[in-house]
Structure 1
Amino acid sequence: MASNDAKAPYIRLAKKDDFEDLAIMLQKAFIRSPPQSFYARLDKPLTTDPEDASKRKNQFNYLRYLLHRCWAMQARITILVVPTEGHKEIIAGVTIWLPPGVRRPPSLFKSLILPGLVPLLLSWGVGFRKRVYELVSSTESVLKEAYASKKLPGSPADSWYLLLAGTDPEYQGKGYMSKLIRETIEQTGDNAIFTLEANNPKARDVYVKHGFEVVGEVRIGKGSVDDTGILAQGEKAVGFPMYPMIRHGQ
């Protein structure tokens, strides 16, 4: 999987020792993520200013929680690393894929309590899980309808599901995300079925280039947030878009 050229960026599977650096990188990539702004009920975009330190800590805790939860669910976490002088690796990108049949945690303690759900509920409120459910249930419904219309075997739960994909802003535009997506597709085989939800047109278009098809569009948080996931009222509370997508070899 890894390149023999130590100076070239390469892909490998993540280790638990990578999680702190991964969470730091992901926070840079998703500091203004609409879903995460929605989960946190932010009333303004998150920034790197000192006044937002506590809110950034909450987001960091969420990302770390998500990594540990996915690890407990045996997700395929692939990272693209850039070697530097002194053999230090910089994590430039990551994809987190849930294998077919893995959509529910095998153990409440290992996948929810141990990774850090309680601190999240204390900082983001018990409504955090309700907001997550709104997003997940809305997109799953579209994917199920698409499965039925395309006569695909099983259900979306039987696909390889891209839960999260991110690139360090300093390394965007280098094709690293495309490398990560291609690597998993090549590893799993041409007949595998893949599902995901893009949360912006730019990401959607990247996935289209890799054979994914947009099967719908849903608006999350209508009546409560704007198109960036920030709390809003009235005409601005249109919700933010999510684009369920499928790739299949049939």
Structure 2
Amino acid sequence: MKQRRVLVVEDEPTIAESVGARLRAEGYEVELAGDGPSAVDAARRRPPDAIVLDVMLPGFDGLEVCRRVQADRPVPVLMLTARDSETDHLVGLGVGADDYLTKPFSMRVLCARVQALLRRVDRAAQTSDEILSVGELAINRAQRRVTRSGAEVHLTPTEFDLLTRLAERPRAVLRREQLLEEVWGWANGSGTRTVDSHVKALRRKLGPGLIRTVHGVGYALEPAP
């Protein structure tokens, strides 16, 4: 099996080397970049399978790196942020990040998140060509494209997977913990705020009224009658 490449973008050398060493120990090929321009150049020169990306970088920040990389080619991105702000997370999701970790973080958790991102990519490559139609939504699994009333909606890989899981059982309420396990691959039930942030990002892109919140439980896709 081909060795997976991970691009680690972090301007603090101690953190960058620690993350790189741990990922190499897990069997990944790792390249390091310390600023925005070199990160974009590295991603274009040798396209990675995943990116671990700090938000605060010299040159230009991680959000701009994410925009430029995703414009060239979709790639799963785990964003590192120093602040546990919902606004920061939503902005990161809006430019194409798939997941985020708040500093300080556990290396074990970081490796698990990278592994989960890559598992989702593998799973997506094996999906059928079935088109899910739910109300005004059409979800093309093979092409990973979504349209609402004929207009294309641009989603990140994680947003697409989350929407697909909800669309497979329209009107059924799926628990946050269930979504974490089935979409993110996290089996311990922690991190439900991640689900909430991605649902908010989906609502911004799809418009209101499609995803219903069941407080204390989870979410349901509610197509218009």
Above 0.5 in TM-score? no
User: With structure 2 as the length reference, what TM-score do the two structures score?
Assistant: 0.29
